[in-house]
Structure 1
Amino acid sequence: MSTGSSTGSTETGEAAVDLLYGEVEEELRASVRALLADKCPAEAVLARVETDGVADGALAKELAGLGAVGLPLPEALGGAGASWREASVVAEELGRAVAPVPFLGSAVLATAALQEAVALAEKGSAGVEADTDAGPEALRSLATGDAWGALAVPLATAPPVGAAFPAAVRAQGGRLTGTVGGVVDALPADLLLVPALGPGGSELYLVEAGDAEVKGLTTLDLTRPLADVELDGAPGRLLASGEAAERAVARALRTGAALLAAEQLGTAEWALEATVAYLKTRTQFGRPVGSFQALKHRLADLWVSIAQARAVVRAAADTAGEDTEEARINASMAQAFVSGVAVKAAEEAVQLHGGIGFTWEHPAHLYLKRAKSAAIALGTADRHRALLAGLVELPSA
């Protein structure tokens, strides 16, 4: 599968990011949107959040059938041979539908961590005791949808600075013990990637979900359940140790921040489009409500913010998965800016829909809850602004 990205050159010779969507990306978007319109309409999502089984396994399997969950992986590992840029288009469409599928936890966080660990193992840099067969096997399962994964770190964890390693688990002799709270997509997961502290320092393990106790949590976002993961001597296969383990987790969190921004963009786009459509049909004093100048101004301001957010997301998607300063800057820029836009758009949708927007039967509340919870996922806007200050050498507060 060829990618949709293209770059030009500036007068200084630096590569310029193409912020437009390519033909392949638009075709991918159309396929995913059609699937979600058929299998994941708003009424189906509203009905599902009333049940104990929120994650839609059948829909996730169909997404995998489209090749949408293994886009950045090579074809030899069951992927599509594309990039994270294409994966961000899928994330955008899932955000537009608030689809209850384990894409962020499995196809982004777990896949990105595994991808880095496998790459380092191929270079002989994953550690002398690393299981070099475990990573490729797991990646194939994730890419094809035969298994779903989760990275066992709290969803609120921001990309680390320096050697920070989010490990709440201890490892001894290949056995893991500890509890990790607030893990995204752990409930439907078959495989867990667990950062741990061993006798020699940082380590990353692959653990069968059946060897852990996963307890669901009550959360604000009804479409994205979190869970506590408890390990009591669970056996694990060592994927990477030392600096390699830290790099794998850091890469996953940065890639996750970039792809989460794409999802937030989709949420904001739905909020604007749904609100405009409603205001065209809702009448007051014999006129469509959307013809009132004050509301036009609010919607115009929101449109401008979303257009800006789209450019930021495209830049972050173009460098997602890279271990460069530009990738770090773009990911933090996306989270620092787009999370606020998504919350504002969802708030406006609830308010401008009037009374119906405040009801449980209307899906607007799902988008507001998704936007509010995503705003503190993988680092708050303030946290990413602090990261940006360091990256661009601004003095911190």
Structure 2
Amino acid sequence: MTVTALNTPSAEAVVTEAVRRAWSEVLGEEPESADVSFFEVGGDSLAAVEMIEHLQEELGRSVRIQDVYRSPSQAGLVTALLIDEGSVPAAHHTTGRTVVRLRNAGAGRLWCFLPPQSGAVTRYASMARLLPLADAVWACETPAALSREGMRAVADGLADALIGEGATDFDEIVLAGYSLGGVFAHEVAAALAARIGHERVSALQIDPPSPGDPALSLTATFEVFVRVGWRITAREPAEFIDAAGERDFAAVAAAAAEAGTLPKNAGADEVEEAWEVYAANAAILGGWEPVRHHPDDRRAMLRSVAADESVPGATETVWAPCAPEPAWAPALDAGHCWGIRLEHFQLLEAPNDATIARWLIAAADLLAGEVGAR
């Protein structure tokens, strides 16, 4: 049995080959294409169980039957296995692709989630289950080269990547993002709208940071990297900084392995690579200010409100109208900001992710309806 660390750079190739072999063993021939359904070419429930057994033997980990039913194509099953939150550290798992198709569907509404600070798409995995089945769900990861070139390079690069992947085939494109992903959603939507028209593009922002937020400093970013990214809570982040002020990535790797968020055979290089993405994404906001790019921009925001902030009607499961942070006010139309009483890092954690999905649907429908009423 080969045990594979699924967050290595070769993860996609390894999983693709494993799915190809398992498919061939069960059905007697390789998939005709990456998009053909397992069940349309002779597969049934017993064959699905047999394929899972092959995959578990090949990958050395548990595979869920629901992944086969929800994503019965080779491409869909590979993505489902790559973004399986139960088997990899959620905050750092990347696929090595810029555009990741979480779920294919019709040509009506496309949801595309922009990367949070980790640059990974895993935080959005549950949205492929929670959003309407008639809608396609994609996500973007941040290529390191683009991050180092600044916000404009990221916005233009991701917009071009989405067009190259066929996003313009959809009637409506909803760009959404959590935290830093909300900033990217705002900027990528502007870049995309400039290319294909504002009437087809919306941006939905889930608690994005504001310029000058102390949480964007490298010190604060490293604390999030350790505590939230690697789920290391037994030790202080400062313990991983040596006397010379350098970050001890080997110590972080050892603590992450002990916490069960890093494979035992991984090491400091993997942790350092993940940190480089965090740091680049934190630095990208330096000097950036959100502005209203165009009168026809379609934007909506959901933000976490403090316990002492007066937002009547806002609870952990219900959002209520509120004012945006001052830095974001010029980028939103009146009535397009809501508050919810959830802590920032819990917004996409179950069961809160179901509430966020409901808000996303309601906000997207509102913006689409406003365009239709013009």
Q: Do they fold alike, i.e. is TM over 0.5?
A: no
Structure with the bigger percentage of helix: 1
Band the TM-score falls in, shorter-chain normalisation? under 0.3
- Judging by fraction of residues, say which structure has more strand: 1
TM-score by length of 1: 0.26
